[in-house]
Amino acid sequence: MSTLGTRIELAGAEQIDDVRELWLYLHHHHRSVAGSLPLVKDDELSWQRRRARYLTRLASGSGLLVLAREADAVVAYAFLFIEDGPDDTFPLGGRYAELYSLSVEPRLRGRGIGTQLLDFIDGELASRSIGALEVAVMSGNDAARRFYERRGLREAEVVMFRFVGD
């Protein structure tokens, strides 16, 4: 898929390191909106943990990596988990997806790249007969919440944590 000079494509484990900086942009954004929530402070530790989770999901066939490219540069990405259903609480169908990460390079935000990613994802999920999508939004990330609400998602539960040391 290509719009506005941006090409959206599925990718594999060999491209995982192409999203490192985009993860760190998102991680820093989370720290800026999360207020007093104790997020992982060490960028490299955060990336290594996220990277390992992505690679595990890709290896098991239960992860999808979607890249947005302009020229040869990766400027945004999304990572999805594909889960087996049905769920015991919500009517999610036989399989559903969780949008685990979506990050757009800060200088390109507001240009519709996130929308292009989600349009591509919706098509990809439909081709796999997956209709339900779960998205967690960091507390305080009101812009992301409004973005997902415009796409028809709605609040279904609030996740709470008891934190331990970093």
Among left, alpha and beta (phi > 0; psi -120 to 50; other), residue 21 is alpha
pTM equals 0.91
For the stretch 41-59, pLDDT in tens is 889 999 999 999 999 999 9
Distances (CA, A) of 33 to 37, 44, 90, 127: 9, 20, 29, 35
Q: Domains, the chain, ranges and CATH?
A: 2-150 (3.40.630.30)
Q: CA–CA separation, 166 vs 164, rounded Å?
A: 7
Helices vs strands, H then E, count in the chain: 4, 6
**Residue ranges in the chain whose pLDDT is less than 50:** 1-3
Q: What SS3 state is found at 124? A: helix
Nearby residues of 98 by Cβ (< 8 Å), 6 or more positions away: 80, 81, 83, 133, 134, 135, 136
